[in-house]
Amino acid sequence: MIVHGAWGGSWAFRRIEALLEARGHRVHRVALTGLGERVHLAGPEVGLSTHVTDVVNHIEFEELDKVVLVGHSYGGMVVTAVADRIPARIRRLVYLDAFVPEDGESVMTLAPGRDQREAWVRPMVKDGFIVPPWIKPEQPLPHDVPQPLKTFTEPVSLKNEAARRIPATYILTVEKGSKEDDFAPFAERARARGFAVETMDADHNPQWSAPEALAERLDRAAAVR
């Protein structure tokens, strides 16, 4: 199961779904409330807990078990909390260039980088949404959409020790020639937790820039028992 990142939608992983299904996997792409194809449900009241419930409900209503749960970028916040809610349903977590939170952290308070994140996000806030400059409403669908601010400010609640025992993989994407990477500190946090950590040559959105390589990495992560 793949959980997309901020401003995006499950549509962004359509190619990855096809590649993984060709390798024999059954793939679910969850559209988070207010984003992507569910943008019509957007509102400032939509928060991180809304998105966690989106994924938990999908797993429970589809009666899924032994789920390999992939979170991209902001999706790392979501999958971490989902695992805390229903750890018995999750076989492995995969963080794709994603945030790795501790209890009580939000995207805006997550260390390291909270000051830089605050300085980057706050100027883009309008009417309860984060609206970055690359979002152009006149673009043909599908395209990125404004992100409810509450999804970045609501803290994650992690109380279930069983979730800490779920095996996990962290895939860090690094562009060739790059000397700094915003998500490298979270890969180190993952390593400190005992996650398997891999690095691949790609930008932050390998589902577009390196789909075949990403599918291979996800296939390999899913095969680990």
Q: For the residues of 5-26, what is the DSSP string, one character each?
A: -TT--GGGGHHHHHHHHHTT--
Burial of 84: CB neighbours in 10 Å, binned 0-12, 13-18, 19+: buried
- Chain centroid to CA 92: how far? 14
pLDDT, residue 75, reads 98
Catalytic-labelled residue, pool 10, 73, 106, 178? 73
pTM of the full structure: 0.97
Query: Tens of pLDDT along the chain (225 residues)?
Result: 999 999 999 999 999 999 999 999 999 999 999 999 999 999 999 999 999 999 999 999 999 999 999 999 999 999 999 999 999 999 999 999 999 999 999 999 998 889 999 999 999 999 999 999 999 989 999 999 999 999 999 999 999 999 999 999 999 999 987 767 899 999 999 999 999 999 999 999 999 999 999 999 999 999 987
Listed by start position, the domains of the chain span: 2-223
Name the architecture of domain 2-223.
3-Layer(aba) Sandwich (3.40)
- Chain centroid to CA 108: how far? 15
Q: Is 157 a catalytic residue?
A: no
Between CA 202 and CA 77 the distance in angstroms is: 21
Q: Parallel, antiparallel, or unpaired for β 67-72 and 2-3?
A: parallel
pLDDT, residue 178, reads 75
**Could you report the per-residue pLDDT of 207-218, keeping only the tens digit for each?**
999 999 999 999
Q: Which pair of tokens denotes residue 221?
A: 């992560």
